[in-house]
A and B are shown apart, each in its own frame.
Chain A
Amino acid sequence: MIARVLRWCARLWVVPVVLVLWELATRAMAHPFFPPPSVIVGHMRELWFTGSPARLWLNDTALGNFPQSLGRLLAGWVLAGVGGVTIGVALGRSPLLHRFLDPIIQFGRALPAPALLPMFLALFSTGTRMQIATITFGIVWPVLFNAADGARGVEPLHLDTARVFGLTRGQRLLRIILPSAAPKIFAGLRLSLSLALILMVIAEFFSTEGIGFQLRAAQRAFDLPGVWGAIVLLGVLGYLLNQGFLFLEKRALTWHDAKM
């Protein structure tokens, strides 16, 4: 117990040490492109956290940008998850389908989503649809390949047993294939979540609101603490998303392990 508390503290004290070092280093450098963290935090509060406590101190600017960004990120991620798992499992279970679709999928995977932005812009115009399309296209691949890999690697014995017991195709999919592929699917989903954050920022550079837009506007206004504020915000958001995902994954896979 004491050891665990100590470990917890050890993990926490690194944070202030890093912050102090960062503060000292940037103050020593006095370079306008690298403002000290104290300046960045002060500026972040000014920019986004001057609201009332009832709204978690978020002001109108924050509420006009954060939920939109997060919503698009999650929408793109969910779409990529559903699409990736569906296509991936189908590919993993059907060698014929794999043979036909693999060249197309390899081609699609090789295209960098940021390079396709002008095309998405032409197709969907500026706005949420274009951003979700960019995110989804860019992050579907890790889910798809992992799901295919997971579905391909299901124990043949399990499937044979299921067949003997007269399980329908649907039942086999839900009870055998998906649970067995779940660890791989979750690995793909976790990878795509961090990619989603990157693509969200890139897509929002071409938008009129969102965290990415604020980052670009701050760059153009030479508001460097503002640029760093957006970067810190993105880092925190990425950390929180990952922690949230790990929490969900643990629950989902524990349930799966217990049932197996």
Chain B
Amino acid sequence: MSDIRRLSVLCVAALLLTACGGGGNPASQSTGPEKTEIRIGMLPLPEVAPIQLAIDKGYFAAEGLKVRTELISGGAAAMPDLVSGKLDVLHSNYVSALLASASGTVKIKVVGDAYAAQPGNFLLMTKKGSPITRVADLKGRTIGVNTLNNISTLSVSALLKPAGLRPDDVKFVERPFPEMAGALDSGQVDVALLPEPFHQAAARTLGAVTLSDLFTGPLADFPIAGYLVTETFAQQSPKSVAAFQRALRKATELARSNTAEVTAALQKYTKIDQETAATMKLGGFSTAVDPARVQRVADLMLEFGYLKQRFEVSSILAGGASG
């Protein structure tokens, strides 16, 4: 605790110093963001395209924010970096975020929504010629996910239920998304959970076959991920958060209305080629957190034992997130 306290003291001291340094213009001091340099940790997925757009189009700069991005392998894996202050904003799936929050590990605030699932965004895929042709065939099989105990494992659990299977009937192993197709091809996993654009690449280069869309039926329109900050950050830098939210919302609106802008932005932080980008089904970008939808995630987590008791998601939604 003392380290974090010391760190936050340092941060406050640094802020005071910068505030003093810029003393020539008192007006900008009272309206500008408290922290002007924001580090964002994000997965190399299309759903974070608005961040890249906001950087490229100068939306962050217009709000007085200088944003740097860092690629991560999963929300849970990067959570310690958020706690330690190495990252200011974390792109995380809601399951990891709620788990971290409900366990008391870190007090977080959701400051924005990233993506709600659209058909074809997330697929369960098998190798060409695999004997697994129905969800019911998954009994005893190994499923590759990017992070254990996250939205991937939860949604697979939900998908298994109508087929009469329990989460214990399958085995989950961790592989980063970029390595997943290779793991499927070499037999390390029987089934791989692949988001865009990785499933297009797996289908094209390896002939991987779709077993099921992940977010269908009861999981249609499921909220996938959002942007988190620590509660401390939200309290100490409310203007930075608000500035981030405005720029993000503007970029998200652009992403929703103009697919060409998204495919161009993708080239900057992923290795998605133009051809793949053209076949992707984009459009789940979300400008605001829907508390009722996020509550669905928490309720499903309760059903599958991820949470011991009901969790009220409204307690972790930051002002302006659901606006």
Is B187 positioned at the interface, with any CB of A under 8 Å from its CB?
yes
Interface residue B189 (Cβ < 8 Å from any Cβ of A): yes
Binds B, one of A26-34, A37-45, A146-154, A252-260: A26-34
Question: Which residue of chain A is the closest to B182 with respect to CB atoms?
Answer: A122
User: With A118-B179, A121-B188, A219-B76 in contact, do A224 and B105 touch (Cβ < 8 Å)?
Assistant: yes
> Contacting A220 at CB < 8 Å: which of B2, B96, B187?
B96
The residue on A at minimum CB distance from B75 is A220
Instruction: Check: A94 CB closer than 8 A to any chain B CB.
Output: no
Q: B269 interface residue, CB < 8 Å from A?
A: no
A251 to chain B, nearest CB (A): 41
Partner-binding segment picked from A10-18, A48-56, A96-104, A203-211? A203-211
CB under 8 Å from chain B, chain A span 123-146: 125-126
A29 x B1 contact (CB < 8 A): yes
Residue among B4, B74, B105 having the largest count of chain A Cβ atoms under 10 Å: B105
Which of A33, A122, A208 is in CB contact (< 8 Å) with B105? A33
- Name B186's contact: one of A30, A125, A224 (CB within 8 Å): A125
B103 to chain A, nearest CB (A): 4
What is the distance, in angstroms, from A156's C-beta to the closest C-beta of chain B?
Answer: 51
Q: Is the CB of A208 within 8 A of B172?
A: yes
Given A31, A122, A207, A223, which contacts B103 in the complex, CB threshold below 8 Å? A223
Q: Which of B100, B103, B106, B183 contacts A121 (CB 8 A)?
A: B183
The listed residue (A33, A122, A220) touching B148 by CB distance below 8 A is A220
Interchain pairs with CB closer than 8 A, number? 64
Interface secondary structure of A, over-half rule? loop
> What range describes how many residues of B lie at the interface?
20 to 34
CA of A126 to CA of B145, assembled, Å: 14
Q: Which residues of B contact A208 (CB under 8 A)?
A: 142, 171-173
- A178 interface residue per 8 A CB criterion: no
Give B residues with C-beta under 8 Å from A. Answer: 1-2, 4, 74, 76-77, 79, 83, 96, 99-100, 103-106, 142, 147-150, 171-175, 179, 182-183, 186-189, 306
19 additional A-B residue pairs with CB within 8 Å, beyond A29-B2, A220-B77: A31-B4, A32-B103, A121-B183, A121-B188, A125-B186, A126-B173, A206-B173, A208-B142, A208-B171, A216-B148, A216-B174, A217-B149, A220-B74, A220-B147, A222-B96, A222-B99, A222-B100, A222-B105, A224-B103
